[in-house]
Structure 1
Amino acid sequence: FSHPLKKFQYVMGLWAAYQAALRRAPLRTKCSTAAMLWGVTDVVTQCLEIRRECPTASLLEEYTPTRTLRQSVFGCVVHAPWTHIVWGSLERFLPTNSIRHVALKVAVDQLISAPLFFAVYFGYIGAVQGEDLEGIKRRWLRVWPTLQVVWCVWPVVHFFNFRYVPLHQRLLVALSLQLFWNSFLSHLANKPRSSTPPVSGWDAALLWRTLLTRRACVDSETSQQLESGIVIKGGVVGISQVGDEVT
């Protein structure tokens, strides 16, 4: 009995130390937390992708550390300060946890902050990979389908977060859930580009499933194994053949 109790006391000690760090240096603590969790999430995502696409490949040989670094830097430099400023401002203007104030916070966060955030995110990924303006613009085409998936999940999460969780702990709650969400986002941002025309009729739920599974299909004419990808042209989302690599 004493051994589990010691573990519990150790965990509670870490939690108390984290809370003290949040009170002492909130932004710095949030940046450190975001950097760690964005990085860990990308490591897990890459391992799953490698195992799914080539089960016999070596994880160490196929793993791309620069991709994890990009994700970690974004979490530290952009995501944590972004939420610190936006959520702090919302709390000042809408200070209560009433249904009305919480609903307004969620609306501002999802309809104003989220589109800008994802535009910055995809632009950042393109810029750090050395893409020109046209390449970044192509990445921005992914903002809208990403938002469609976001709005299926995160309004409910943030309603709970804004209503029941103290302000200084909200980023930790969001980041904990984003261990799953960031896997999707990292995969979407770093997937190869495609030049094949889109197939119409795919909704946000299928977009989520496709991006998480990246199922292979076989072309009936060439019998060549293809990798599932998402292409957006003219507002249409579909599955396409991967044509070129991310630079």
Structure 2
Amino acid sequence: MTTTTLLRGVLRRQAPWLRTRAGQRRPQSTKHNPEQPRQTPKQHDPIPVPNTVPTIPLWQRLGPLTTAAEGYARAQRNRPYWTQFVTALVIYFCADMSAQRMSGKEYAPERTGRSLIIGGLSAIPSYKWFIFLSVNFNYASRIGSLAVKIIVNQTCFTPLFNSYFFGMQAFLAGDSLEQVVERIRRTVPTSIVNSCKLWPAVTAFSFTFIPMEYRSVFSGVIAVGWQTYLSFLNREAEVAEEAAALAAGREEVVPVVPNSRELARMEA
């Protein structure tokens, strides 16, 4: 037997050390083992680009104003009624002070007291009303929802509130029932017409862009100017009523002077 034949026999039998080595290389094969789950490569998060980064709302980028607004929102969530009550007192106080300053007359503390009473009594009902508007009249069309909310607010809330405001001003001032009705007749129609120039836009902006917890803050800032106008309008009505009363008093005091014919008859 030649040397070449012996070498072929050894290579065909596969020595044990060759089989062990081949078995160790088996896990490195590219074939999939059904018993082990296939590992997927880890996917990294994409780098954010300007179009995908969420923008911070404007009211969260105002520094100290944002801090104050967040504090108000926390108070609103924890004690909504007390927060609305105190807010109404601040609004009506500032409005009355502005109206009295615009009138150019001396400060009348009794007028401020009347305004605080009116504002305190109307705080919670007004808050409940705007919550009612927020949770109702919500339709598929956003524009339709806003339109209905504005119409309902202008036709229901505005006439009732303005009648309450001017009527209570006259009642707390000691006027009679007839004078209260006359005050409402003089002031409410004008105030309703002027409210249509302001509050529909304010309501639409508030329900569109302002979150629920900040709507009272936004409306309160606008309400300071609006209540100033109402107080000024109420003061004009008071002045008109005082002038009418003085004119009526003068007519009663003016003596009737008889003419010459009446004097001749009296002498005869």
Interval of TM-score (by shorter of Structure 1 and Structure 2): 0.5 to 0.7
Larger radius of gyration: 2
State how far apart, in whole Å, the 1-side matches of 2:63 and 2:198 are. Answer: 34
CA distance in 2, matches of 1:15, 1:170: 11
Equivalents in 1 of 2:182, 2:124: separation in Å?
Answer: 26
Offset at 1:85? 1.2
Aligned twin of 2:102: 48
**For residue 163 of structure 1, what is the aligned residue in structure 2?**
208
TM-score by length of 2: 0.62
Q: Which residue of 1 aligns with 2:166?
A: 122
Q: 2:240 aligns with which of 191, 194, 211?
A: 194
The answer to whether the aligner puts 1:181 opposite 2:216 as a matched pair is no
Identity within the alignment, %: 24
Aligned match of 1:242: 243
- Of residues 68, 73, 79 in structure 1, which corresponds to 2:117? 73
- Specify whether residues 31 and 104 from structure 1 end up closer, same or farther in structure 2 by C-alpha distance, changes over 3 A only: same
Matched, 1:90 2:133: yes
Give the TM-score, by structure 1 length. Answer: 0.67
List gaps (5 residues or longer) in structure 2.
1-61, 247-268
Opposite residue 159 of structure 1, the aligned amino acid is A
State the one-letter code of the partner of 1:167.
M
- Backbone CA RMSD of aligned residues: 2.2
- The answer to which structure, 1 or 2, has the higher relative contact order (CA under 8 A, 6+ apart) is 2
Q: 1:18 to 1:134 in 2, by over 3 A?
A: same
Q: Give the number of the structure whose residues are more often strand, by fraction.
A: 1
CA contact 1:110–1:151 (8 Å) conserved in 2? yes
Call closer, same or farther: CA 1:145–1:48 in 2, change over 3 Å: closer
**What's the counterpart of residue 38 of structure 1?**
92
Query: Contact 1:43–1:68 at 8 Å: present in 2 too?
Result: yes
- In the alignment, the residues of structure 2 paired with residue 164 and residue 10 of structure 1 have an alpha-carbon distance, to the nearest angstrom, of 20
Aligned position for 1:15: 69
SS at match of 2:240: coil
Equivalenced residue count is: 182
Inter-partner Cα distance in structure 2 for 1:172 and 1:10: 15
